[in-house]
Amino acid sequence: MRLPPFLTLTALEAAARHRSYSRAARELHVTHGAVSQQIRKLEDELGTKLFVRQGNAMVPTATGQRLADQVTTALAALHAGVDEARLAARGPLVISSSAAFASRWLVTRLERLARETDEPDLIVRAEDRVADLTTDGVDIALRFGCGVWPGVEAATLMIERIFPVCSPDFLVRHPIREPRDLLDAPLLRHVGLPWSMWLTAMGVDEAPRQQGLGFEDTALMLDTAAHGVGVALARSGLAERDLREGRLVRPFAGEVSVETGNHFVWRADSPKLARILKLRDWFLAETADLRAS
């Protein structure tokens, strides 16, 4: 047997609770006749009486009371679910980012982000792990990669470019005028970004003659370069702040675009989806020039 319509069940529950069709009708903002009709239809479908008149009261039968009690329990569960969903939708938006990207790129935009958006409650997590956006309480991830991850949506903020950077003092002490000059310079190496990628694109097929320091942490490598230890092969997004503030400089032009980039990632089934999409649009507007360059 199909489930009776929702209005029929709520009419039954309200009438049993008030012991009155009229008071049930006022609570549900319908007419007395509508409540009476819904209950009569349910009685016809079930083949049993659900209410009997006792004076001015409509008293539920034993069957009617049991059914009304079950509807009351179900309605309470529905209300609890709606309240839970409402609280989830109103909770803070949690953004996860790698520590390097947060400190080198995101931190310079947080003040403007707070000023230009109507999102009152943001939490930023700088963490060197991939948020799953399901069990860890994260709503948005700023990820570096190819832009395709299962189970989530992604919007490209910028495709990275790589180029050499060093401190102004280092450039004074090591006159570097062209890519080939780097073969004799101390090169700082990131384990995931080989110098050969950039040198080959610049037409330099020889291997560097100095084995410089190696790093797994990009931020630490850039800090080391800013202290004049050597030349680092930098990702454009992470070097932006240091270049703007003059801690690092580019010794010459010459950059290579790579297939990986920075992406805004979210779940399409998030209860906070409307707020997430507004924030996504802000990030896309913020990085429009970076995607065009």
pLDDT band, very low/low/confident/very high, at 89 (cuts 50, 70, 90): low
Say what percent of the chain tops pLDDT 90. 59
Q: How many CB atoms lie within 10 A of CB 252?
A: 15
Dihedral sign computed on CA atoms, order 121, 127, 132, 136:
negative
pLDDT band, very low/low/confident/very high, at 83 (cuts 50, 70, 90): low
Both tokens assigned to 184: 């004799």
Tens of pLDDT, residue by residue over 133-145, are 988 899 999 998 8
The model scores a pTM over 0.85: no
Q: Report the distance separating Cα 261 and Cα 88, nearest Å.
A: 31
pLDDT band, very low/low/confident/very high, at 110 (cuts 50, 70, 90): confident
Say what percent of the chain tops pLDDT 70. 95
Judge residue 260's burial from the number of C-beta atoms within 10 Å of its C-beta, 0-12 exposed, 13-18 middle, 19 or more buried.
middle
What pLDDT score was predicted for residue 119?
Answer: 77
pLDDT band, very low/low/confident/very high, at 78 (cuts 50, 70, 90): confident
What pLDDT score was predicted for residue 2?
Answer: 47
CB of 68 closer than 8 Å to CB of 16: yes
What pLDDT score was predicted for residue 3?
Answer: 45
